[in-house]
Amino acid sequence: MRRTPRIALTLALLAASACSAPKQLTIRDVLRAPGFRRPPVILMHGVLGAVLADRKSGDVAWLTAPSSFRLAPSADLSLPLTPGEGEDRYRAVGMLERIPVVPGVYTEPIYGPMVDAFREAGYRVGNCDFPRPDEDAWVFSFDFRRDALSAVRDLHRAIERIRELRGDPGEHVAIVAHSFGGLITRYYLMYGAKDVLDEPNPRPDTAHAHGVSHVVYLGTPHRGSLSLFQVLLEGYRVGLNSTLLSREVMSTCPLAYQVLPSPGMDLFLDGNKRPAAPSRPSARASWAGLEPFRDSAGKPLDLYEIAAWERFGWLPELRAREGGREFLERSLRRARGWWRALEQEWVPPADQLTLSVGGSTTPTPARAVILDGDSQKPKVRFDLPESLFRALNPFDRSVLETAGDGRVTLESALSLPYARRLVGISTHDFVHQDPAVLNNTLLFLMGESLLGPGKN
């Protein structure tokens, strides 16, 4: 790709804007100028980013302001554990762009700013479910409760639908994905719509990746997220509502297990062993002198073994339900297979460009403390117990956190060796709204990036 003319055009237009008053020309104005070819692009949300509506009535169940403030009854978003429990009432019908808090007065932006940025850059944005010939950008939504392979298959069908509509089966598309949407994208690039989660040695290829020109990962947990483990155990409070995504609801969602930290990551500290006093501040290792948790066989805690959940009493309501233990065991097995597939060695095609964006300024959960043998205390803590807090040097009391965006660590977000990297200051829930990130994303898709020259 020849980039010099585009660079010259960009600089010329921006220079002209500096000399013309009163309006300052923006980057998005430049991208709308003649000479810039906008690649077709799919915009994808992350966990909790879809609109879920009743299949029959069309009423929105996730998410509305009245339900989050407990001004309306909460929908039951839990999934049936077995076919005999009936069908799920809800389906994904779009991306959660904005939530009207006070209709006509104030709306809370979610993914709206990202969609607006592409519209301002000249894109005609539609929906992957109903693409139109005059569109060149589409939002892709998926049910964030279901097994990730459901979303992968939907993405495959969406891309084929777009190519068929545009009359070019070989046309390249770009994908901009936030959070777990990035993992769905990675799996599609490596395996297409094939389910390999039960294969002991899955073999990726580049057959489907050749049809994707650019990939932008915004805060994607490429090594999983400890935050989702906490959500599984404690639930997730939505505004004033603690029932919409309670522990009982989240535990029925297969996808929640597929965001757990990658197997093999040693993230748990032994809370029953006090550290020795340091000779000087931060003199101990990265775990501040605390010992990693080991079971009776001397092995690290394996989150993907149901025995660990039974030993520590995690998700007792789920395991007590009919079919609950089997559901949990199956979900953990599928989640292990998900990571086994994603962690196979793979390199994208030479003509595919990849950008990973991660936050670095927000303390992010990176480790947890296991308390074993005391029935009066929680079996896992995401904060330091008082005894350990007092025993640690003040400089080491942040041992359970590391740099990140509040939900995904910087290490996890930037772990792809073949991707260009952009380190930002946004939190996980704001990275897709950050103007600087969106400007870099748009320029990256046009073939130019503020990151400078570099290999994929």
Q: What is the count of structural domains for the chain?
A: 2
Q: Label residues 315-340 b or e (16+ Cβ within 10 Å = b).
A: beebbebeebbebbbbbbbbbbbbbb
Same domain, 31 and 73: no
* Cβ proximity of 74 and 241 under 8 Å: yes
Same domain, 181 and 208: yes
Backbone angle region of 122, left / alpha / beta, with phi > 0 → left and psi within -120 to 50 → alpha: left
CB atoms under 10 Å from CB of 163, counted, come to 18
Rounded Cα gap, residues 114 and 118, in angstroms? 7
Same domain, 8 and 149: no
Tokens of 167: 């009359």
Whole-Å CA distances, 305 to 106, 155, 176, 318: 46, 30, 33, 16
Query: Which residue range is the domain that position 143 belongs to?
Result: 37-257+327-360+405-445
Asked whether residue 297 is assigned to any structural domain, the reply reads: no
Q: What is the dihedral of CA 428, 433, 437, 440, to 10 degrees?
A: 150
Nearest by Cα to 271 from 365, 379, 356, 359: 379
Same domain, 239 and 112: yes
One digit per residue, the tens of pLDDT, for the chain of length 456 reads: 444 445 444 444 444 444 444 455 566 666 666 666 788 999 999 999 999 999 999 999 999 989 988 888 889 999 999 866 667 899 999 999 999 887 777 889 999 999 999 999 989 999 999 999 999 999 999 999 999 999 999 999 999 999 999 888 888 999 999 999 999 999 999 999 999 999 999 999 999 999 999 999 999 999 999 999 999 999 999 988 899 999 999 999 999 999 999 998 989 988 877 655 543 444 444 566 678 888 878 889 999 999 999 988 899 999 999 999 999 999 999 999 999 999 999 999 999 999 999 999 999 999 998 886 554 455 888 887 777 777 676 667 678 899 999 999 999 999 999 999 999 999 999 999 999 999 999 989 987 434 444 344
Asked whether residue 452 is assigned to any structural domain, the reply reads: no
Q: Can you tell me whether residue 287 is helix, strand or coil?
A: coil
Tokens of 244: 């919409």
Asked whether residue 389 is assigned to any structural domain, the reply reads: no
Interior angle at CA 66, CA 62 and CA 67, nearest 5: 45
Amino acid at 104: G
How much is the pTM? 0.88
Amino acid at 75: A
Whole-Å CA distances, 407 to 47, 380, 410, 439: 12, 18, 10, 23
Same domain, 203 and 249: yes
Omega into 22 within 30° of 0, i.e. cis? yes
* Cβ proximity of 261 and 229 under 8 Å: yes
CATH number of domain containing 118: 3.40.50.1820
